[in-house]
Structure 1
Amino acid sequence: MPKRRLASLCALLLLYLPAQASALCARPQPAGMQIRPGLCAEVIASGLKMPRGLAVLPDGQLLVTEMVRWDATQGRVLQLSATASGWQQSVLASGFDRPHGVVQGPDGKIYVGEVGRIVRFAPGQPQQRETVATLPLRQRHPLTTFALAGNGDLYVNIGSSSDNCESASPAELAAERCPESEQDKAGVVWRYHLEQDGKVSDLGVFARGLRNSMALGVHPASGIVLQAENSRDAIHLKLQLPNDNELPHDELNLLQAGRHYGWPFCYDNQVAAPEFPAYHCRNTQPPYLLLPAHAAPLGLTWWLSPKAPPRFAGWLIVGFHGYRQHGHRLMAYPVDKQGLPKGKPLELISNWKDSKGPGGPVEIRVGGDGALYLTDDRHSQVIRLYAAQ
């Protein structure tokens, strides 16, 4: 076959395959989303105000936290319900301070992470709230997100108050010290335990040296705890590089009790930070996996459901929220029996951009219907991702 004819045929096939994949989707695909063939996406809620956290209830309803604004206590928890005519929205509760994490606890109550605390309420009594945990206030990373394990352990992000401990004095830097991290008030994952009867136990710091653990997950079968780290900014200024587009990498960490994961002393695979050049990084826990620089992972889950697409059943799904070249996409990682990544990832949503700018995936959850649900705070919507029929 002549080369010119073969090239033309290949070009036609490239146009034909995505069209065929889209034809198998029940609804038109959202603008700007480059979706992997065999999958479909639909917007099930739009016009929201900074949607962030997401929970799937046993009856299939969704809870979504709206931050609304960064500077006022106007946050809300929405309830989304599927009906024959589409998804219906209602306000379950309001008046929260920048709410993020949301789960239903073993006691049946709804737990919401606000700035500086975790509150809970009964679904039928949303205004009767109880503070179950008071958290340290942080300047740079104040949002509270968490992951609930099947045994009732609740892993809570307490992000750093700085980028890389720039508040330390020259004497403290010379002594390889960062008071912010030493006081366990920032850069840690804390652990609580929730009982069926509503009792909440404070189990203290679970892991340290974590700049900002917005993406947390506990595998329901193996019990492993994964954290996706949002690494530091502007390292190029200290290293005298043209930019920091590829450095440092964000990270995926396998969290274990009592371990230190490097921040602010180390980055990447146990490399000493320029502020702490003599630090013994070999004494810290290295990342399980390096992610692209500034991908900004804000949510992760495993696609575990009998109705999940067979191609991706059990895979680890991570959302890259970043606005730079490696962000605004949804990644899928094949895993081993524990749920740990073991191979080359695939992009489920690639280079997500439209006329409004890049997409911003935040929280990701699996529904009883086998679909992935994710919040997109940049486009003010909730997306449902499912297998084409």
Structure 2
Amino acid sequence: MDFMARATALVGGTMVMMRRPFAARNPAVGGSPTIPQAKKQGIMTLKMPTAKGWEGDHVPSAAPGLRVNAFARGLDHPRWIEVLPNGDVLVAESKEQPNPPRSLMDHAMQATMRRAKAIGDSANRISLWRGTDGDGVAEERHVFAENQNQPFGMALVDGTFYVGNTDGIFSFPYQEGATRLTGEGKRLTTFKPRGHWTRSLLASPDGSRIYAGVGSLSNIADFGMEVEEGRACIWELDVASGEARIFASGLRNAVGMAWEPQTGALWTVVNERDGLGDETPPDYLTSVQDGGFYGWPYCYWDRIVDDRVPQDAALVARAITPDFALGGHTASLGLCWMPEGTLPGFGAGMVIGQHGSWNRSTLSGYRVIFVPFADGKPSGPARDILWGFLSEDEKWAYGRPVGVTIGADKRSLLVADDVGDVIWRVTGSGA
């Protein structure tokens, strides 16, 4: 594995040096992005920083008027956060379990991702963190659930707690104040594991439905569409009947989801395909229509055909153009709605945790951003909330932000950092 990591670094560095002079200089962002023409990479650009973590008093940089502190430390690859009504903070601690490598490229990718602390043994648990004195730091830690299967999304509805494991949604009885779930849980759905393994969950405002993001197995249906059945979509589970259906499709890897309160629309962030260039195509933030198709794998953005894929002209014709581009390969994973008044200097809009790129010559993402909204739509350019997760020379990742959510006090933002093994808390500097 050490040999493979060194060989990967050599080949990857060579490809980066070859492609950087020709890479797009302007990010593909906003409602009408300029997307460079696709350039098939053949051997993909493979560049990831080595995981380093935070040392001493080193913390992420925050926007003016904000401050950041560690709410919880010492986790094992924290990915997603759920805040319960009583203020308890739940954290899904899990990690990608690598598929058996099929090719030299697979070996190379896995060697690189291990160095970046992106794959390996998974803790497979949900931990509970409780603050008792109001200082913004958790004093209690409990094991809320263990022996799960790569847990990720969580939701609490009417005394039932839902867990999005990689192979399906499970439900558990819950009593307020409990520090541990009991029982094995009841399986409500079955999802295909592997590939894009995260299973984010979001309850409808009335609690009658649970939505789940299920990503594709591969980059562009590399193993055929049959194995992608039931994937690259958002599922809807009817809580009362137990019936589940595909709500929207053609979403390569829809992870975070949130409700926009003015229109009641469901929004998500999506990781787009690799191997076409630094900014091609961009990841995106979009509203999601019931029955909508968003292009994957046949096309991207405004019906731009990916000629690496056997085509379906009828599906391309009905593909919906996303609302807001987030730049190429930013790995935008976390998403939450932030109401007006939560953080000083920021209005109402969507907060996005950008985990950071691997498939581009100059790294992107590695920050937490804010997209302002007005009248139910993005209303201006994205702004940084947190950055500094990446060293200036791009060799080291101190952290990588993933899940984001509003704190129980409604005046703070919580951010899961799966390289730093920290939950960060962002507040106004005077709080």
TM-score (norm 2): 0.73
Q: Structure 1 stretch 96-105 or stretch 310-319: which is displaced more?
A: 310-319
Aligned partner letter, 1:344: P
Match of residue 109 from structure 2: none
Structure 1 residues 30 and 363: alpha-carbon distance in aligned structure 2, compared to 1, 3 A threshold: farther
Q: Structure 1 stretch 57-66 or stretch 136-145: which is displaced more?
A: 136-145
Superposition map of 1:35-46 within 5 A: 35-46=62-73
Q: Quick one: distance in 1 between partners of 2:345 and 2:56?
A: 21
Aligned partner letter, 2:284: E
CA deviation after TM superposition for structure 1 residue 74, in Å = 4.3
CA deviation after TM superposition for structure 1 residue 298, in Å = 0.8
Q: Quick one: distance in 1 between partners of 2:199 and 2:86?
A: 26
Pick from 94, 104, 108: which aligns with 2:156? 104
SS at match of 1:126: coil
Report how many residues are paired. Answer: 336
Deviation by residue 1:215-237 (Cα, 9 ceiling, x = unmatched): 211224532111111111123xx
CA deviation after TM superposition for structure 1 residue 279, in Å = 4.8
Match of residue 237 from structure 2: 192
SS at match of 1:333: strand
Pick from 129, 133, 144: which aligns with 1:92? 144
Tell me if 1:139 matches 2:139: no
Pick from 159, 179, 204: which aligns with 2:226? 179
Name the Cα RMSD after superposition. 2.4
Match of residue 24 from structure 2: none
CA deviation after TM superposition for structure 1 residue 268, in Å = 2.6
Tell me if 1:264 matches 2:297: yes
Structure 1 residues 30 and 361: alpha-carbon distance in aligned structure 2, compared to 1, 3 A threshold: farther
Contact 2:154 2:202 in 1 (8 A): no
**Percent identity between the two aligned chains:** 26
Q: Quick one: distance in 1 between partners of 2:408 and 2:371?
A: 21
Contact 1:132 1:200 in 2 (8 A): no
Structure 1 residues 227 and 254: alpha-carbon distance in aligned structure 2, compared to 1, 3 A threshold: same
Contact 2:370 2:382 in 1 (8 A): yes
Match of residue 116 from structure 1: 167
Structure with max Cα Rg: 1
Aligned partner letter, 2:335: L
Divergent runs of 4+, >6 A: none
Aligned partner letter, 2:126: V
Q: Quick one: distance in 1 between partners of 2:163 and 2:264?
A: 22
Q: Quick one: distance in 1 between partners of 2:168 and 2:69?
A: 34
Q: Structure 1 stretch 272-281 or stretch 90-99: which is displaced more?
A: 272-281
Deviation by residue 1:190-224 (Cα, 9 ceiling, x = unmatched): 10133xxxx35324110010111112112245321
Superposition map of 1:290-329 within 5 A: 290-304=325-339, 308-324=342-358, 325-329=363-367
Superposition map of 1:223-262 within 5 A: 223-235=264-276, 244-262=277-295
Q: Quick one: distance in 2 between partners of 1:137 and 1:356?
A: 33
CA deviation after TM superposition for structure 1 residue 356, in Å = 5.6
Ranges in structure 2 where 5+ consecutive residues have no aligned partner = 1-54, 98-119
Structure 1 residues 193 and 313: alpha-carbon distance in aligned structure 2, compared to 1, 3 A threshold: farther
Match of residue 390 from structure 2: 353
Pick from 48, 56, 62: which aligns with 2:89? 62
Tell me if 1:82 matches 2:111: no
Superposition map of 1:2-17 within 5 A: none
Contact 1:304 1:366 in 2 (8 A): no
Contact 2:257 2:266 in 1 (8 A): yes
Between Structure 1 and Structure 2, the one with more strand by share is 1
Deviation by residue 1:41-93 (Cα, 9 ceiling, x = unmatched): 01111111111121111111111111167366741111111122741211122
Q: Quick one: distance in 2 between partners of 1:30 and 1:113?
A: 34
